């Protein structure tokens, strides 16, 4: 009888997929020891431009195909590993692989965020597993902890820095006092931000990742469109100076909380206390703080992107899938997304707020502003006035509030903006303390 092998079909030969192919090839012996039989690349679906890559020339040319039909016709594939990225055509490929009864490993955050519930159901129907550890946090184990290690807990909250590009920019702005535009330009020159940085700086990438984490943690279907999302482009050097003076750091946080009634999911810049764990996560690093009712707080920290960390997560999924196949373990997701929990509308969210505004430097201004806040049940916790411009007769004031409802704050912001003495509401940042 022929010796059992586990056949892998790889989709993509870009930076991530190429590194996955290298690990399967270069660590064959160590992986065989983990699994108990060889993991063998059976077919690689490439784009025509991939054929010019150095790795394509090192691999057996019979492995490579630009034809999806030829890829799916390969009989020896047990596990399809998708590292193409983007929604299309990856979504169709994953549906096709699962429908054909293949185990699937993917690093694709967009497809899992938008179609995870459907793909998990398909996997369950076919009694195969869909694994996506690399879709959030690169090499940081977080999907597996939420699926397996922390299942005894009710997850009360997730607070995550899950976009390295924005964390790099915010770290530079905080440390160098630089403005957003010049910091983004520097990040692009250094290769930390993409030429088209929109998905990262507008919070879209973090929203995909939060949809994945919150769906798993709360066992419900949270779609990217359900998540209130704001990016970092409206942050100014002045906000960082005030944050430091007040004892805070500014981070782009992905937040998911639940209570008995609501699930609350949002991505936006926040003030967090400078001595908190997440405030110390600098540069391109990611960190995910999970609060479980039994385990308490657990922090996952590491490199959230890049071919080496991402291949680490992909290969771990491949090994786990291979073990399931060999032992018939059947680790597909059993739960159905719950329907009883409702997403909290943003208007109901309660946080503290930082407000920075430019006002006329004349008697009675603060009284008018504090009246509007008071009328909206918003209590001021501290106030600073600085940088009076004698010539323009204006001053900048910064207000920190006690916890208040978002709807009340939005009404107050509109009313304050309409005051003749308010020249500009310069910024408004929520505080997670
Ligand atoms: N663009 C992402 C980031 C990495 O900046 O963290 C890939 O998920």
Q: Is the CB of 205 under 6 A from ligand 1?
A: yes
Range 143-303 classified under CATH 3.90.1010.10: no
Q: What are phi and psi of 18, to 5 degrees?
A: -60, -40
CATH class of 348-431: alpha beta
E-state strands within 55-182: 64-65, 79-82, 103-106, 130-131, 155-161
Report the pLDDT value the prediction gives residue 1, as an integer from 0 to 100.
Answer: 54
Q: How far apart, in whole angstroms, are the C-alpha atoms of residue 179 and residue 190?
A: 17
Helix (H, G, I), strand (E, B) or coil at 136: coil
User: Domain-by-domain residue ranges, the chain?
Assistant: 6-139+307-327, 143-303, 348-431
Q: Which residue has a Cα nearest atom 8 of ligand 1? A: 305
CATH tag for 6-139+307-327 (out of 3.40.50.2000, 3.40.190.10, 3.40.50.2300, 3.40.50.720): 3.40.50.720
User: Is 304 touching ligand 1 by the criterion CB < 6 Å?
Assistant: yes
| Cα 207 to ligand 1 centroid, rounded to whole Å | 11
Does residue 137's CB lie within 6 angstroms of at least one atom of ligand 1? no
Cis ω on the peptide bond leading into residue 116 (within 30° of 0)?
no
Residue to mutate, 14, 134, 162, 164, ligand 1, most ligand atoms under 8 Å from C-beta = 164
Q: Distance between CA 116 and CA 226 in Å, rounded? A: 14
Q: Which atom of ligand 1 is nearest to the CA of 163?
A: 6
CB 166 within 8 A of CB 231: yes
Active site residues: 209
Q: Tell me, what's the pLDDT at 61?
A: 95
pLDDT of the residue at 354: 98
- Could you read off the pLDDT tens digit of each residue along the chain, which spans 433 residues? 567 999 999 999 999 999 999 999 999 999 999 999 999 999 999 999 999 999 999 999 999 999 999 999 999 999 999 999 999 999 999 999 999 999 999 999 999 999 999 999 999 999 999 999 999 999 999 999 999 999 999 999 999 999 999 999 999 999 999 999 999 999 999 988 988 999 999 999 999 999 999 999 999 999 999 999 999 999 999 999 999 999 999 999 999 999 999 999 999 999 999 999 999 999 999 999 999 999 999 999 999 999 999 999 999 999 999 999 999 877 888 888 888 889 999 999 999 999 999 999 999 999 999 999 999 999 999 999 987 788 889 999 999 999 999 999 999 999 999 999 999 999 999 999 8
Tell me if 305 CB under 6 Å of ligand 1: yes
Q: How many residues does the chain have?
A: 433
pLDDT at 2: 62
Distances (CA, A) of 264 to 160, 257, 267, 275, 288: 14, 5, 10, 25, 16
First to last CA, the chain: 63
């Amino acid at each position: 009888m022929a010796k059992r092998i586990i056949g892998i079909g790889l989709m993509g030969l870009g930076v991530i997929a190429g590194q996955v192919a290298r690990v399967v090839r270069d660590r064959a012996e160590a992986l065989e020891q983990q699994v108990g039989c060889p993991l063998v690349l059976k077919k690689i679906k490439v784009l025509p431009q991939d054929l010019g890559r150095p790795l394509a020339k090192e691999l057996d040319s019979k492995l490579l195909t630009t034809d999806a039909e030829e890829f799916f016709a390969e009989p020896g594939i047990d596990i399809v590993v998708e590292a193409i990225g983007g929604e299309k055509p990856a979504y169709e490929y994953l549906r096709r692989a699962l429908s054909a009864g293949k185990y699937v490993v993917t690093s694709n955050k967009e497809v899992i965020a938008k179609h995870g519930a459907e793909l998990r159901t398909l996997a369950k129907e076919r009694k195969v597993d869909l694994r996506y550890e690399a879709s959030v946090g690169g090499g940081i184990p977080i999907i597996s902890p939420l699926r397996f290690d922390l299942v005894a807990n009710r997850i009360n909250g997730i607070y995550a820095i899950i976009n390295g590009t924005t964390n790099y920019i915010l770290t530079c702005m905080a440390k160098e006092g630089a403005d957003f535009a010049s910091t983004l330009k520097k990040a692009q020159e250094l290769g930390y931000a993409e030429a088209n940085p929109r998905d990262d700086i507008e919070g879209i990438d973090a929203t995909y990742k939060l949809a994945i984490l919150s769906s798993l943690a709360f066992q419900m279907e949270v779609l990217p469109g359900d998540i209130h999302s704001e990016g970092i482009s409206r942050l100014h050097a002045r906000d960082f100076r005030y944050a430091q003076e007040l004892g805070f750091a500014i981070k782009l946080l992905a937040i998911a909380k639940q209570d008995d009634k609501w699930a609350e999911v949002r991505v936006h810049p926040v003030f967090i206390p400078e001595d908190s764990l997440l405030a110390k996560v600098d540069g391109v690093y990611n960190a995910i703080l999970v609060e479980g009712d039994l385990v308490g707080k657990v922090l996952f920290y590491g490199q959230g992107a890049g071919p080496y960390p991402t291949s680490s997560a992909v290969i771990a999924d491949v090994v786990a899938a291979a073990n399931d196949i060999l032992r018939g373990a059947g680790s597909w997701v059993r739960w159905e997304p719950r329907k009883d929990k409702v997403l909290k509308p943003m208007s109901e969210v309660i946080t503290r707020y930082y407000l920075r505004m430019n006002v006329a430097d004349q008697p009675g201004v603060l009284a008018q502003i504090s009246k509007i806040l008071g009328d909206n049940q918003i209590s001021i916790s501290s106030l600073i006035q600085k940088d009076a411009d004698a010539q323009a007769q204006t001053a900048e004031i910064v207000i920190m509030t006690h916890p208040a409802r978002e709807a009340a704050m939005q009404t107050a912001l509109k009313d304050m903006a309409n005051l003749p003495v308010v020249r500009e509401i310069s910024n408004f940042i929520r505080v997670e303390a």
